[in-house]
Amino acid sequence: MIRIGIYDEDRAACERTFQCIMEMKKNPDITVLQIDVKGLLSAMEECTFDFHILVLEVISSDLDMIRMVTQINRKFPDCQIIYLTDQKDYVSRVYETEHCYFIWKWELEQVMPLALGKALKHIEMKEIWFQYLKIVCDRKHLEIPICQILYIERLQHRCRIVTFEEEYESYLSLKQLISQLPNYFVRCHTGYLVNGKYIVQLSGKVMEVGRAGEKWEELPIGRNYAEGVKEVYQKYSWREAGKK
C-alpha cells in the first residue's frame, strides 16, 4: 500500500489537489489523504510516519516547511517530496532540500501526472514497499522505518537494532529479522546484519558504515560472508552509486 499525503493551508487548494490526484489514481493500492502539520510532526517524532509521497505547499504560517522537509529527508530519505506553490519569492528555498518535483499551482492538472509518475518510479526503484520492520520491544509493538536502520547485532538471545536516531532490542533472531527486510540488507558476520546502502568502504576484515557527512562505525566481515558483502556493496552502496 502506497500512502500519499497532501498539505496546504488553503483548504480549497488542498481539496483541488486531492481531487486532481484521485481522478488520476488507477491503482487501488494507493491511498490519498489530506493531512495537517501537527499530525505529520507527531508521526515523525513517534516513528509512525508512513507516507511514501508528500505533496506540500511551500508556504505555511504554522512552521518553516523547508526545515520540516529537511528533517524528513534525514529521517525518512525514501519519502518522495512534491512541492506546490504560487508564490515565486519562495521558489529558491526548495532547493535546500531533496525533492522529486516542483509544481506551480496554475499548472497543477497538467504537471501532476508527471510529478506522480516520477515519484512512483523512484519508489519502485528503491524497493520501499518494505517500509517498516515490525518488532516487540519492552512489551510494545513497534514499527521501525527500514530506511533508518544502520545495522543489527546479535547479543546472545536477542538482537540490537541500531538506527540513526536510537537503538532497540528484540528477541527475534537475525534469520527472522532478515525475512522482513529488503535484499540490500546482508549478513556480514555471524553476529551482524548490515544495511548495504550505508556501507562506506570495505577494508579486509572490516567495513565502515554510515551516512555522508556523519561519523562512521566499523563492523567486522566474516570470511564466509565477504563475497556477499562485496556484491551488495557494489550494487547498493551510496558510495558506489556516486561513482557511476
Q: What is the pLDDT, as a whole number, of residue 240?
A: 47
Mean pLDDT of the chain: 86
Segment 29-48 shows an average pLDDT of: 83
Residues 44/135, Cβ–Cβ less than 8 Å: no
Q: What is the pLDDT, as a whole number, of residue 130?
A: 47
Query: Going by C-beta distance under 8 Å and a sequence separation of 6 or more, which residues neighbour residue 142?
Result: 47, 134, 135, 136, 168
pTM: 0.56
Beta bridge partners of 54: 5, 81
Structure letter (DSSP) for residue 218: E
Nearest alpha-carbon partner for 1 in 39, 24, 23, 33: 33
Instruction: Order across the sheet with 53-57: list the strands.
Output: 30-34, 2-7, 53-57, 80-85, 101-104
Residues 187/178, Cβ–Cβ less than 8 Å: yes
d(CA 157, CA 82): 44
Nearest alpha-carbon partner for 174 in 144, 48, 188, 233: 188
Answer yes or no: is pLDDT of 80 > 90: yes
Burial of 241: CB neighbours in 10 Å, binned 0-12, 13-18, 19+: exposed
DSSP 3-state of 156: coil
d(CA 219, CA 105): 48
Q: What is the pLDDT, as a whole number, of residue 129?
A: 46
How do residues 115-162 score in pLDDT, each as one tens digit? 998 888 787 666 544 468 888 888 888 888 888 899 999 998 899 999
d(CA 104, CA 117): 17
Nearest alpha-carbon partner for 182 in 132, 140, 224: 132
d(CA 195, CA 236): 9
Q: Which three cell numbers stand for residue 30?
A: 494507493
Segment 213-221 shows an average pLDDT of: 86
How do residues 176-213 score in pLDDT, each as one tens digit? 898 888 888 999 999 999 999 889 889 889 999 987 66
Residues 59/89, Cβ–Cβ less than 8 Å: no
Q: What is the pLDDT, as a whole number, of residue 238?
A: 61
Indicate the range of 3-17, 60-74, 153-167 predicted with least confidence. Answer: 60-74
